Structure 1
């Protein structure tokens, strides 16, 4: 139903025109209501004047017209209430339609995006990536393969030769004699090696004294 009312731009424009018309009608009714209220107040004043001059019949006629004006005011109030109710319904329907249109637009956009990136395209892209990755691995393996003279070397022979070298090194270490314990650390004062005492030359008197002691010992 909402789609039939507001589904097309022309119908939506008609709905806006209807709201404008209701607003105009509401303003017109409010103006008439104010006029009738003023007329009812004027009839009250006339009734007071006729009462002061003891014209009871004329005063009653004024009050009757006042009642008629008041009835019309009440009727206009009911009309305004109906118009307000209709405007609220139309505004709510318009908001609902705009919401539905926005959701429909979002769903269409999402559908278009899913169509542009469907599962087949994703699988195809992943296959291409895997293929390129495998090609790159093959290229790297081809570049790392030895060529020329290095390609003629037998890896098994090289490993056997390396094992022989390791066995020979181990045997040589076992045949070496045990080394002596290292000497204890030599303390050095003030970071200097102590100098050897320099022998002093004896004087002539010391030589004579030594000769005398030798003779006495004999």
Structure 2
């Protein structure tokens, strides 16, 4: 893995340095082209001067040098085109390499994830979970099982005793006397009520009161 990373870094460094070198060469060719263009233009001006001076031979020599400069300019143009093509190819190759390397890295990560979680591991994990669940159920059942004195009780006897209690309660309910309905309240007719005079005590009443007092003593 480290070798791959170092190799990748070295390839990128080489690609970048190559692109820088091509750019420098392209700038140098462009500068030379500008110089040759100026020289060719200067030869044209000199040829015009010799033509005005009726020096045909010198004028032709100037035009010959101009043609040589133009040939060099054309050659430099071809060189620049080649360098442009090389830069385009190199940049495309660099992008392709980066893309392939990124895909390779993704595939390696996916493979590592699949290796970490393969089907055997998943099955093993599920078996462990099921085993732990079954153990927990057994533990809960063991804890809920009665022990000691409560374990000796007979469930059938307890149910029979409960049925007897329910029967006795029902019989007691049936033997209870029926309660009488409360008497309906007497409706008093509305209207003004007259105060009745309190009856005066008679002689018999006085004797009865005296007799009750003696009995109390």
TM-score, length basis structure 1: 0.68
Report what 2:63 is aligned to: 63
Q: Distance in 2 between matches of 1:16 and 1:44?
A: 42
1:27-176 alignment, distance < 5 Å = 27-174=27-174, 176=176
1:25-75 CA-partner distances (Å, limit 9, x unpaired): 222211211111111121122123223333344333323322332232122
Q: Distance in 2 between matches of 1:123 and 1:182?
A: 78
Q: SS in structure 2 opposite 1:137?
A: helix
Q: In the TM superposition, what is the alpha-carbon distance from 1:170 to its structure 2 partner?
A: 4.1
Gaps of 5+ in 2: 1-6, 186-193, 201-217
Gaps of 5+ in 1: 1-6, 186-196, 204-218
Check 1:59–1:167 CA distance in 2 against 1; reply closer, same or farther (3 A cut): farther
Q: In the TM superposition, what is the alpha-carbon distance from 1:110 to its structure 2 partner?
A: 2.5
Q: In the TM superposition, what is the alpha-carbon distance from 1:133 to its structure 2 partner?
A: 1.6
Aligned length: 189
Q: Distance in 2 between matches of 1:89 and 1:60?
A: 44
Check 1:47–1:103 CA distance in 2 against 1; reply closer, same or farther (3 A cut): same
Q: Distance in 1 between matches of 2:182 and 2:31?
A: 123
Q: In the TM superposition, what is the alpha-carbon distance from 1:85 to its structure 2 partner?
A: 0.8
Q: Distance in 2 between matches of 1:199 and 1:145?
A: 82
